[in-house]
Chain A
Amino acid sequence: MIAYKFLGADATAPFTRFAWPLPDGRPAAWVEAPTHPCRSGVHACRRNDLPLWVGPVLYEIELGGEIVAGPAKLVASRGRLLRRVTAWDDRLRDAYARVCADRAHELALGPAPPLADWDAVIEPSIPEGPALLGFVAARIAEERNGRAAYHDERRRQAAWLMERLSL
């Protein structure tokens, strides 16, 4: 199964700091990690999950063995990085952050009454990166229109990413 994985700029996984073997034109080595009992295993996301896990660098990953689908990610007993998604670069990251910020402004100030306090957080959040802006926009959508709107906003974000990344 093909999925996606964000890694840090140094190609380490964000929570475990595991250093992933990198592809060099060919798929990288398989990494084995049992999924039971402590929910370790190889974590990856489906295209719809991309906004939730936005990070510095994006890879396409092949998953194998036992694969468990959670609400926001996949956990597999083995995985190997296939290729870096080079379209996900600094320029696209900044563009995504900007798109999320603009949406957040629209949601906060568009309809009446204006959510000025919520709006005030948006621009100062931009230096912290696209993951935060994605949350800010979705959270403001939720404040406006409830839980379903949070998920709708995340779907919009995923659609934007899929289109720009050709996934």
Chain B
Amino acid sequence: MPLTVRDASASEEELGLVTAVRAGNEQAFTTVVERHYAAMLALASAYVLAPGTATTIVHDAWDAALAASDGFDGRTPLRAWLLRFVVRAAEPLAARPDGVAPESSPPAVDRGRFRGADGAFPGHWRAYPRDWRTLPDDVLRGADVRRIVAETLNALPPEQRVVITLRDVVGCPSHEACEVLELSEATTRERLHHARSRVRAALERHFDA
């Protein structure tokens, strides 16, 4: 695998854009909006679920970002800097399902699918999971799968939904997600793991049905 260079700061182009925005340049502002609005809305929606509230959060975030734009020093990429405003606006409003302990998570796969501790080859599959490469291409890309992924994300504890949204939906690399959420790599990875495991399990139930 090729080495990925950790680009932890804003590019020259981004610094130029922000300078232009501060000078009142509408074209520059529109460019920034077009590049980053979707990511901001995705993250806001991960916190609050209700579309109207998410949109309000995003607009509040843009207002706050403009007001603070003289503080953009390019030390973080522009996207990460903008997403921080979303986090600040959204966190207090985050939906929390009743009665769910914050970090509770089942094992990635039901224990019963593995051989027991008192038998032969403990911990190994009783029966293998399916080879999804044998599924027709369009199945994995189809509307059903998108629907199941979206539904599963909605049912996640918000702290897991936020991480998987940033990492897998928006596509932030790990260090950027850690910076935006102000969490350690270990914590984001653990939440990502639980979230992805649930989505996989939901897709598996669908394909095996």
Report if B1 contacts A (CB, 8 A): yes
Interface membership of A120, Cβ < 8 A: yes
Contacts of B119 in A (CB 8 A): 117
| Contact (Cβ within 8 A) B1 A40 | yes
- Secondary structure call for the B interface: loop
A103 CB-CB contact with B under 8 Å? no
B3 partner, pick from A40, A118, A136, beta carbons under 8 A:
A40
A40-B121 Cα distance, complex, nearest whole Å: 31
A16, A38, A40, A120: the one contacting B120 at CB < 8 Å is A120
B1 to A118, Cβ gap below 8 A?
no
B1 close to A16 (CB less than 8 A) = yes
Query: Count of chain A residues with Cβ under 8 Å from any Cβ of B?
Result: 12
A115-B120, A136-B121 provided; 12 other pairs, C-beta below 8 A? A16-B1, A34-B3, A37-B3, A38-B1, A40-B1, A40-B3, A117-B119, A117-B120, A118-B120, A118-B121, A121-B120, A121-B121
Within 8 A of B (CB), among A82-133: 115, 117-118, 120-121
A5 at the interface (CB under 8 A from B): no
A positions within 8 Å CB-CB of B:
16, 34, 37-38, 40, 115, 117-118, 120-121, 136, 139
The answer to whether A38 touches B121 (Cβ under 8 A) is no
Q: Are A139 and B121 in contact, CB atoms less than 8 angstroms apart?
A: yes
Across the two chains, which residue of chain B brings its CB closest to A143?
Answer: B120
Smallest CB separation, B5 vs chain A (Å)? 11
State the CA gap A40–B120 with chains docked (Å). 35
Chain B residues lying within 8 Å of A37, measured Cβ to Cβ, are 3
- How far is B181's CA from A127's CA once the two chains are assembled, in angstroms? 48
* A interface footprint on B119-134 (CB within 8 Å = 1, 0 otherwise): 1110000000000000
**Chain A to chain B contacts (Cβ below 8 Å), 7 pairs:** A16-B1, A38-B3, A40-B1, A117-B119, A118-B121, A121-B120, A139-B121
| Chain A contacts for B3, CB-based, 8 A | 34, 37-38, 40
**Complex CA distance for A123 and B3, rounded to whole angstroms:** 43
Interface residues of B (CB under 8 A from A): 1, 3, 119-121
Closest-CB distance, B114 to chain A (whole angstroms): 14
Among all A-B residue pairs, the 8 with the closest Cβ atoms: A117-B120, A118-B120, A117-B119, A40-B1, A121-B120, A16-B1, A121-B121, A38-B3
Q: Could you tell me the distance in whole angstroms from the C-beta of B129 to the nearest C-beta in chain A?
A: 15
Query: Which residues of chain B are near A34, meaning CB under 8 Å?
Result: 3
Chain B residues, CB < 8 A from A115: 120
CA distance A20 to B1 in the complex (A): 13
What is the CA–CA distance of A101 and B151 in the complex, to the nearest angstrom? 47
> What distance in Å separates the Cβ of B126 from its nearest Cβ neighbour in chain A?
11
A128: min CB distance to chain B, Å: 10
Q: In chain B, what residue has the closest Cβ to A136?
A: B121
Chain B residues closer than 8 Å to A118, beta-carbon distance: 120-121
Q: What is the bound-complex CA distance between A158 and B3, given in angstroms?
A: 34
Nearest-Cβ distance from residue A134 to partner chain B, whole angstroms: 14
What residue of chain B has the Cβ atom nearest to residue A17's Cβ?
A: B1
The closest CB in chain A to the CB of B128 belongs to: A128
List the B side residues contacting A117 at CB < 8 Å.
119-120
Chain A residues, Cβ within 8 Å of B1 = 16, 38, 40
Q: How far is the CB of B8 from chain A (nearest CB, A)?
A: 14
| Nearest CB of chain A from residue B172's CB, rounded to whole Å | 18
Residues on B with C-beta less than 8 A from A139 are 121
Distance in angstroms from A77 CB to nearest chain B CB is 12
Nearest CB of A to B167, in Å: 18
In the bound complex, what is the Cα–Cα distance between A38 and B3 (angstroms)? 8
The interface centre, meaning the residue of B1, B119, B120, B121 with most chain A CB atoms within 10 A of its CB, is B120
